[in-house]
Amino acid sequence: MFITTSGSKSQTSKIEFEEFDLNNGLHVILHKDNTNPIVSIDVWYHVGSKDEDPGRTGFAHLFEHMMFQGSQNIGKAEHFSYVQKAGGTVNGTTNQDRTNYFETVPSNQLELLLWLESDRMSTLQVTQDNFDNQREVVKEEKRQRYDNVPYGSRWGEMMKRVFKNETYEWIPIGSMDDLNSADLGYAQDFYRKYYSPDNAVVVLSGDIEYSNAKELVTKYFSGLKPAGTKKRKYPEIKFNKGEMKDIVYDNIQLPAVYIAYKIPGTTSKEIHSLELLSMILGDGRSSRLYRDIVYDRKSAKSTGSFVWDNELGGLFIVYATGFKNTNLDSLEANITDIVNSLENTEVTEKELEKAKNSVENDITGSMQTVLGKADALANYWTYFKDTNRINSAADDFLKVSSKDMIAAAKKYLSRDNRVVLLYEPKPVK
Amino acid sequence: MTNILLAQEELLDRSKPPVPGPPKDVQFPDYFDTTLPGGINVLVIENNKIPAVSVRLVFKNAGSYYDNGKYGLASLTAELLTKGTKNRSATQIAEEIDFIGGNLNSGSDWDGSYVSLSLLKKHLNIGIDVLADVVLNPVFSEDEISRVKEQRLSSILQGKDDAGNLTDKMFNKVLFGNHPYAFPAEGTEESINSMTRGDYEDFYKSHYLPQSLILAFVGNITKEEAIMIVNDRFSNWSGTPQENSDVKVYLIDDRKPNSVDIVNKPGAVQSNLRVGHIGISRNNPDFIAVTVMNTILGGYFGSRINYNLREKHGYTYGARSGFNTKIYPGDFSVDADVRNEVTDTSVSLIIEELNRIIKEEVTDEEFQTVKNYLTGVFPLQLETANAVASRVINLKLYNLPRDYYNSYISSINGLTKQDILNAAKKYIHPDKLFIVISGDAKAIEEKMKKFGPVKVYDPDGKEIGGN
């Protein structure tokens, strides 16, 4: 096959932006794209489930729900209705490290978004009724997305073991007991501490003009008070704590194996090598795992591998779902051999180039929407304090050599740095 | 500068929302549409924002509707296209596409079968080589058939623990009777096991035809480039169109309503429920009025049903209603996951809302909100070339007029509250509901009897109890 390769420079197009800080510490990023008459706002608060206290799990996410329940000038459920009446879409998400809120509207409605987001950044009104209502909604969310779903407990079970007694020990949905005991006072305190301009970034992306957008953001946000909350110290993440292996019985028909190797955080130099390794291992039907256990041996129905990176430490996940009669122990042994092959045998130039081409395609695709770009900009600011990384992201991958990858595999993809979960169907009573 | 801004902040009246600027004009993007002498309908939706291209093939009259009793045939045939050709093995196909970072997928739904390729423009020639090969030269080898079958049988097995999957299957079964839509498009254990290589070959020969093909080029590509590719790769391809079999369109009155069917999932912590009846086809002339009516009822976050069940009562993470439109009338249904104790109360609330929408005119406030919402999100839905392409393809697939989307906004704005009430009266039938639940029968069965005779099934669909 003859293909002219792109060398170490990607062809992804440059994203222009402007950024500045307000006096209260709010960071603002503006990206102009006038292709379509629409604009997105994306507000990231640097708070997530890793900031919860033990016994208060699920709180950051429950709080995200409260942010739609009204502030000084906006009543219950009105946040949604204002945006939808303006012809827009709206949502929020919570992960381990950040909580984000985003809306996309026709661009003549830009100012409405600034009004809504600045009002709830400064004057959220948390009432007992609304708190109780959203607690029930979140409990149903937990049942619908985790408890009543085959294999739904896997990531919670995984985190509990990989990060035992460390940051990230639980997932954002939290536990039913903690949700039941969550109280209003804690919510108000949580808001004061974390929901403030000095713990947030506001991104406007889309059909804007820079000078006008800057003026409007300043108008709505410059009067808000910073919280001045001291940055929390997170304990150091420890590696190689010995292999842990457990069987989980679930309401499932097919057995499955999940393996997680502990890896460093989002900003680590090794993260690109690990991402590329996961692609060679388990991305697509030509990957090492698929070729071996699904295609040749026919011992698994499906398989894959991916990096789940958090700010301070994450997981390199390898998984496979078996057939009804698959023996999980031998499937796990096969997978382990394939993972080990990464450090023992050479990563071929062809494999490396394939993974890099795939990254380039994915990055290009993620820049298709104004909201996609806003999220990327917020991400590079929040974790790297370097927004312009959006323009070097693809090149950072292209620079990785097979030597770097083998080194990363040797360091992290070892037996005593992993947790293995074997999911078996519940025995018939 | 600072002083001026401080002064502004003092003057800033936060008690009222800001007044929007003048709305910008929204145009549905122009596209190229031609039918070549061999019968292929070529569409080009050019958009040069990112250096990427998608090529999307839609074979009309090749969906699961045409399984003809061999449930899963359309779906497996489509899946097998990428599993080996006269020139390439399954592994070679995967290698070539993965190497350029592209995606090649094939599949089917009720209305058609699909092959799609997406990649960066610089790799287009390689991608097209593989794409043309899988469409024109599939071999359906026994070895690949056995792999795909085993995978499919396992998926069917896996679905028996999935609440939504169990509800959907039972709902379609009781709602559609003997109509093809009653049967699972993925197939059944029996039908998958009984299929042979000849079935796939026959289905391919009789349904993958240039005359049925919509071939859309999307993104960083001109119509000249697109036409050249088609002439180069597909011009020698011919086929004989077959006569479509007669189609029976089932009406509501054909089925016996007001029944409750529970698929038992012992120990389930939630009930997954669907309440509904037969709906409309995609090309129904009332489609837009029905869309507006349904949006108010249960079609968006601020809808009556979601507000009532979620924001008011906290019974669910979300509840929604929708018309599942296809070439022939699909279903209308309300669905939600609710906790066991409030299963019957939730169904009662849903029925109340269905009764309300057919009895009273909607309020000015909610009518205006939904008009604004639907017309406002329209440009958001046209942001990517692929989103535009999906709409253009649907115009062709469902025989809708070329200017359909140019007049979409004015069609919505032209509706009156009476139109909405008429649509509700005509298409919502609270007295003819099918209620299907997957959940813990022991916990919910007794309380569900108030809605009609209850039947309980196991995950295989076998009746195991009820009254």
Structural tokens at position A407: 């080194």
Q: Are residues A150 and A266 in the same domain?
A: no
Q: Please give the helix or strand (H or E) that residue A321 lies within, else none.
A: strand A313-322
Number of other residues whose CB lies within 10 A of the CB of residue A291: 18
Which residues from chain A sit within 8 angstroms of residue B296, using beta carbons? none
Any domain includes A412: yes
Q: Are residues B217 and B311 in the same domain?
A: no
B413 to chain A, any CB pair closer than 8 A? The answer is: no
Distance from CA of A241 to the nearest CA of B (A): 34
Q: Are residues A162 and A274 in the same domain?
A: no
Q: Are residues B219 and B259 in the same domain?
A: no
Any domain includes B24: no
Any domain includes B285: yes
CB-based contacts of A104, cutoff 8 Å, min separation 6: A38, A39, A40, A88, A89, A206, A370, A371, B380
Q: Are residues A34 and A92 in the same domain?
A: yes
Q: Please give the helix or strand (H or E) that residue B291 lies within, else none.
A: helix B287-294
Biggest CA pair distance of chain B: 81
Closest residue in chain A to residue B377, using alpha carbons only? A87
Q: Are residues B187 and B40 in the same domain?
A: yes
Task: List, in sequence order, every beta strand (DSSP E) within B130-192.
Answer: none
Reduce the secondary structure of A36-58 to three states and give it as a string: CCEEEEEEEECCCHHHCCCCCCC
Any domain includes B26: no
Domain boundary residue, one of B199, B234, B269? B234
B443 to chain A, any CB pair closer than 8 A? The answer is: no
Any domain includes B131: yes
Exposed e or buried b per residue across B20-36, where buried means at least 16 C-beta atoms within 10 angstroms of its C-beta = beeeeebebeebbbeeb
Q: Are residues B174 and B85 in the same domain?
A: yes
Measured distance CA(A197)–CA(A22) in Å, rounded: 9
Q: Are residues B293 and B378 in the same domain?
A: yes
Domain boundary residue, one of A221, A256, A282? A221
Q: Are residues B311 and B427 in the same domain?
A: yes
Q: Are residues B162 and B214 in the same domain?
A: yes
The answer to whether B63 touches A146, Cβ cutoff 8 Å, is: no
Q: Can you tell me which residue has the tokens 């249904």? A: B333
Q: Are residues A183 and A305 in the same domain?
A: no
B387 to chain A, any CB pair closer than 8 A? The answer is: no
3-state secondary structure of A290: helix
Q: Are residues A107 and A157 in the same domain?
A: yes
CB-based contacts of A167, cutoff 8 Å, min separation 6: A50, A234, A235, A237, A312, A313
Any domain includes B14: no
Q: Are residues A131 and A32 in the same domain?
A: yes
Strand partners, B130: none
Supply the CATH number for residue A329's domain. 3.30.830.10
pLDDT of B113-123, one tens digit each?
999 999 999 99
Any domain includes A227: no
The answer to whether B460 touches B169, Cβ cutoff 8 Å, is: no
Closest residue in chain B to residue A215, using alpha carbons only? B5
Any domain includes A229: no
Which residues from chain B sit within 8 angstroms of residue A150, using beta carbons? 158, 161-162
* pLDDT, tens digit only, all 429 positions of chain A: 333 333 445 656 789 999 999 999 999 999 999 999 999 999 999 999 999 999 999 999 999 999 999 999 999 889 999 999 999 999 999 999 999 999 999 999 999 999 999 999 999 988 899 899 999 999 999 999 999 899 999 999 999 999 999 999 999 999 999 999 988 999 899 999 999 999 999 999 999 999 999 999 999 999 999 999 998 899 999 999 999 999 999 999 999 999 999 999 999 999 999 999 999 999 999 999 999 999 999 999 999 999 999 999 999 999 999 999 999 999 999 999 999 998 877 788 899 999 999 999 999 889 999 999 999 999 999 999 999 999 999 999 999 999 999 999 999 999 999 999 999 999 876
Q: Are residues B382 and B443 in the same domain?
A: yes
Supply the CATH number for residue B69's domain. 3.30.830.10
CA A342 centroid distance within chain: 26
Quote the ipTM score. 0.89
Strands ordered across the beta sheet of B52-60? B32-35, B41-46, B213-219, B52-60, B112-120, B103-108
Q: Are residues A60 and A168 in the same domain?
A: yes
Any domain includes B210: yes
Option in B94, B123, B337 nearest A284 (CB) = B94
Biggest CA pair distance of chain A: 69
Distance from CA of B378 to the nearest CA of A (A): 8
Q: Are residues A200 and A255 in the same domain?
A: no
Any domain includes A37: yes
The answer to whether B185 touches B213, Cβ cutoff 8 Å, is: no
Q: Are residues A200 and A286 in the same domain?
A: no
Q: Are residues B297 and B442 in the same domain?
A: yes
The answer to whether B427 touches B290, Cβ cutoff 8 Å, is: yes
pLDDT of B419-432, one tens digit each?
999 999 999 999 98
Measured distance CA(B144)–CA(B17) in Å, rounded: 61
Please give the tally of structural domains in chain A.
Answer: 2
- The residue length of chain B stands at 467
Which range marks the domain in which residue A79 is found?
18-221
Give the phi and the psi of residue B290 in degrees, each rounded to 5.
Answer: -65, -40
Q: Are residues B166 and B257 in the same domain?
A: no
Please give the tally of structural domains in chain B.
Answer: 2
Measured distance CA(A131)–CA(A184) in Å, rounded: 7
Measured distance CA(A89)–CA(A421) in Å, rounded: 38
Any domain includes B144: yes
Q: Are residues A217 and A329 in the same domain?
A: no
Q: Does B375 sit within 8 Å of A87, measured CB to CB? A: yes
Which of B154, B271, B384, B408 to mutate: most A Cβ within 10 Å? B154
Any domain includes B243: no
Which range marks the domain in which residue B204 is found?
32-234
Q: Are residues A421 and A294 in the same domain?
A: yes
Q: Does B98 sit within 8 Å of A286, measured CB to CB? A: yes
Domain boundary residue, one of B201, B234, B267? B234
Option in A80, A144, A365 nearest B270 (CB) = A144
Option in B120, B123, B317 nearest A144 (CB) = B317
Q: Are residues A421 and A279 in the same domain?
A: yes
Domain boundary residue, one of B234, B269, B296? B234
Q: Does B378 sit within 8 Å of A143, measured CB to CB? A: no
